């Protein structure tokens, strides 16, 4: 470690140690006003944020893909700050943050809190979409209500200094993780940016200026030596990271042969608490049914979006589609999937190592199809040695695994395979038409409950769970440092629910107006986050503008753009 790095890290931690004293004395109303300032600054600098993101990802400013940067950038921070501010207001007034939200029983003795839609605007903007947060088994509604608020229930009992090792793919991850450390864990934060995102430093400094001035936040750049110095600094009490399991293990156990020995012996070199969000191999279960040609095309585009959003550089990007070998429409669906992969806009491979990971997939599967810059692997089978089920490619690579059986048998087998043979537990998607869901009845409900994933999305993409500020986001609970999978702990969770088990997201199987014609009451057209949506950039920019200052006047423009998509 160089003298410069040591001095930089020491200065940051020392300032935060002083800032923690001030944070402990900062009452809830002042903490809420800081969130309001973060919201206002995010609104003010949102265009600079998106233009910087476009430069990093090598996207022209007129690209239809720029909607991804609006919604997964400033929009997510705007809604996250607003949700936390609402929770603090509830605590100020002596209420629980979950008061006013429908709470009901969920399978297996769990309790569910309906977190979306929340209010008329949610209902109008994403009509037909729904999200709920489930507790673990045996937790009743009163316990959920009493424990919601986490660190803000005792604001003067602070948690020391935390370090956030930021992500380099989705640019709201790091700032949202900072807010979670501050408000859920009640500790001040040093954010070490991923080098990919260093150009965003000036924007983030403007957004977090009020907290930087008070000593609650410090932003640092640099290489691995800066991160290493931070996490091992004696003045740092906890660490949160986003990245790969390999990076996690290097931080916790060390590198090389010594690191491997430490992991095998269960002796971490980093002994302070560490939470993490690490991705994995996310599946999409396609339940067989009788679909129209329009259904086949729409859901093929849906699956392509789950893989190709951000060019596949998402911790929850769908990597393997699990489909029925006995489905009469299987071949037609796969034909539509190939067409959707080809139709989706091409984009640069901006994320380091992408080409090498694609090459690795193609070496493992020499018969894989090349669809432009995308790779489609068919013929996968349940097998613990199947590379595509165990390796997160983090690139535009999609696999197809086939299972046999009628819909009920297929779904039960798919749940078992996804639970037991896929690496990671961050998110799983299920695509099934309403008639099939009705026929499956309790078999379908059991499948949802049995899936051991932090977010389960039904006829929606788990990415929507990320975008829902009041939903929890993270791996399914139960992982250990030695078998980390998709990580430990959650983030986002704007209602500050204690120890949530999962988020369950539901969406319409068909977009409007076909949904209405087929008896599915949902008014949402083709989602603006689809990679094939022609007006996604405009719609999601307008949605971000709405999040800056919600109001009825903004709705017609959003609806008009969404309908044109």
Q: Cβ(477)–Cβ(501) under 8 Å?
A: yes
Q: How many CB atoms lie within 10 A of CB 59?
A: 22
8-state DSSP, 268: -
- Given the structure tokens 């996490």, which residue do they identify? 231
Q: What does the pLDDT profile of the chain (565 residues) look like in tens digits?
A: 688 999 999 999 999 999 999 999 999 999 999 999 999 999 999 999 999 999 999 999 999 999 999 999 999 999 999 999 999 999 999 999 999 999 999 999 999 999 999 999 999 999 999 999 999 999 999 999 999 999 999 999 999 999 999 999 999 999 999 999 999 999 999 999 999 999 999 999 999 999 999 999 999 999 999 999 999 999 999 999 999 999 999 999 999 999 999 999 999 999 999 999 999 999 999 999 999 999 999 999 999 999 999 999 999 999 999 999 999 999 999 999 999 999 999 999 999 999 999 999 999 999 999 999 999 999 999 987 899 999 999 999 999 999 999 999 999 999 999 999 999 999 999 999 999 999 999 999 999 999 999 999 999 999 999 999 999 999 999 999 999 999 999 999 999 999 999 999 999 999 998 888 787 888 899 999 999 999 999 999 999 999 999 999 999 999 899 999 8
- Alpha-carbon distance 181 to 491, whole Å? 9
* Euclidean distance between CA atoms 255 and 260, whole angstroms: 7
Measured in Å, how far apart are the chain's first and last C-alpha atoms? Answer: 52
Task: Say if strands 318-324 and 282-286 run parallel, antiparallel, or are unpaired.
Answer: parallel
Fold classified for 282-517: Aldehyde Dehydrogenase; Chain A, domain 2 (3.40.309)
Q: Contact 306/316 with Cβ under 8 angstroms?
A: no
Residues in the chain: 565
| Residue 273: Cβ within 10 Å count | 15
Domain residue ranges in the chain? 282-517
Of all helices (H) and strands (E), which one includes residue 556? helix 555-564
Furthest-apart CA atoms within the chain: distance in Å: 68
* Burial grade of 48 (CB within 10 A; 0-12, 13-18, 19 or more): middle
Whose tokens are 């089920």? That residue is: 389
Give the E-state strand segments of 221-269 in sequence order. Answer: 238-242
> Mind spelling out the 3-state secondary structure of 86-133?
HHHHHHHCCCCCCCCCCEEEEHHHEEEEEEECCCHHHHHHCCCCEEEE
pLDDT tens by residue, 403-425: 999 999 999 999 999 999 999 99
Question: Whole-angstrom Cα distance, residue 261 to residue 255?
Answer: 10
Alpha carbon dihedral 133, 137, 143, 149, in 10-degree steps, equals: -40
Q: Whole-angstrom Cα distance, residue 115 to residue 495?
A: 8
Alpha-carbon distance of 306 to 312, in angstroms, equals 8
Please report, for residues 132, 139, 183, 458, the alpha-carbon distance to residue 110 in angstroms, rounded to integers and kept in the order given. 12, 6, 25, 19
User: For the segment 67-81, what is each residue's pLDDT rounded down to a tens digit?
Assistant: 999 999 999 999 999
- 40: tokens are 């206002």
Q: What is the 3-state secondary structure (H, E, C) of 393-447?
A: CCCCEEEEEEECCCHHHHHHHHHHHHHHHCCCCCEEEEECCHHHHHHHCHHHHHH
Instruction: Choose among 259, 253, 397: nearest CA to 317.
Output: 397
**DSSP class of 467:** H
Sign, CA dihedral 540-541-543-548, equals positive
Residue with tokens 């265009």: 47
Strands 282-286 and 397-403: unpaired
Q: In whole angstroms, what is the distance from residue 287 CA to residue 331 CA?
A: 14
State the Cα–Cα distance between residues 426 and 428, nearest whole angstrom.
7
Asked whether the beta carbons of 175 and 204 are under 8 A apart, the reply is: yes
Question: Is the pTM value of this prediction over 0.75?
Answer: yes
Distance CA 16, CA 3 (A): 20
Query: What does the alpha-carbon distance between residue 191 and residue 178 come to, in Å, rounded to a whole number?
Result: 7
Q: Which tokens sit at 381?
A: 């089978």
The string of DSSP letters for 501-522 reads -EEEEE--SS-TTHHHHTT---
Four-point Cα dihedral 523, 525, 528, 529, nearest 10:
90
């Amino acid at each position: 470690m160089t003298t410069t790095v040591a001095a930089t890290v020491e200065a940051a931690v020392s300032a935060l140690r002083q800032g923690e004293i001030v944070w402990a004395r900062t009452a809830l109303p002042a903490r809420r006003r800081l969130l309001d300032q973060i919201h206002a600054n995010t609104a003010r600098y949102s265009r600079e944020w998106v233009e910087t993101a476009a430069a990093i990802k090598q996207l022209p400013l007129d690209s239809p893909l720029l909607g991804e940067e609006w919604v997964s950038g400033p929009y997510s921070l705007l809604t996250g700050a607003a949700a936390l501010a609402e929770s603090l207001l509830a605590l100020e007034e002596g209420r629980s943050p979950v008061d006013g939200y429908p709470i009901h029983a969920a399978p297996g003795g769990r309790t569910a809190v309906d977190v979306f839609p929340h209010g008329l605007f949610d209902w109008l903007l994403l009509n037909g979409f729904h999200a709920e947060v489930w507790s673990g088994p045996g937790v009743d509604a009163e316990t959920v209500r009493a424990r919601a608020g986490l660190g803000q229930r005792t604001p003067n009992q602070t948690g020391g200094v935390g370090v956030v090792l930021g992500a380099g793919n989705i640019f709201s991850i790091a700032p949202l993780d900072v807010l979670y450390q501050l408000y859920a864990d009640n500790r001040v934060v040093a954010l070490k940016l991923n080098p990919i995102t260093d150009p965003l430093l000036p924007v983030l400094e403007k957004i977090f200026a009020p907290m930087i001035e008070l000593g609650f936040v410090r932003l640092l750049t640099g290489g691995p030596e800066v991160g290493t110095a931070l996490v091992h600094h004696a003045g740092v009490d906890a660490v949160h990271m986003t990245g790969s399991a390999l990076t996690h293990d290097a931080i916790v156990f060390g590198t090389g042969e010594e690191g491997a020995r430490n992991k095998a012996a269960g002796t971490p070199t980093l002994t302070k608490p560490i939470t993490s969000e690490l991705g994995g191999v996310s599946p999409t279960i396609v339940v067989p049914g009788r679909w129209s040609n329009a259904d086949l095309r729409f859901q093929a585009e849906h699956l392509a979006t789950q893989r190709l959003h951000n060019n596949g550089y998402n911790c929850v990007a769908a990597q393997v589609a699990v489909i029925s070998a006995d489905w009469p429409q299987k071949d037609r669906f796969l034909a539509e999937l190939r067409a959707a992969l080809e139709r989706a806009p091409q984009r640069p491979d901006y994320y380091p190592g992408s080409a090498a990971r694609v090459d690795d997939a193609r070496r493992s599967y020499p018969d894989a199809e090349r669809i432009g810059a995308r790779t489609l692997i068919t013929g996968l089978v349940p097998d613990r040695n199947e590379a595509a089920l165990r390796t997160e490619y983090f690139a535009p690579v999609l696999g197809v695994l086939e299972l046999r059986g009628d819909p009920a048998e297929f779904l039960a087998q798919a749940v078992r395979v996804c639970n037991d043979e896929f690496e990671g537990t961050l998110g799983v998607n299920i695509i099934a038409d309403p008639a099939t869901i009705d026929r499956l009845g309790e078999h379908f409900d059991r499948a949802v409950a049995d899936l051991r994933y932090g977010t389960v999305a039904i006829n929606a993409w788990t990415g929507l769970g990320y975008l829902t500020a009041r939903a929890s986001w993270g791996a399914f609970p139960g992982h250990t440092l030695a078998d980390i999978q998709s990580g430990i702990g959650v983030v986002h969770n704007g209602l500050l629910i204690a120890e949530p088990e999962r988020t369950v997201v539901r969406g319409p199987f068909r977009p409007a107006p076909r949904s209405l014609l087929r008896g599915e009451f949902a008014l949402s057209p083709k989602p603006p986050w689809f990679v094939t949506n022609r007006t996604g950039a405009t719609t999601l920019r307008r949605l971000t503008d709405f999040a800056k200052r919600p109001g009825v006047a903004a709705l017609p423009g959003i609806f008009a753009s969404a309908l044109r998509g």
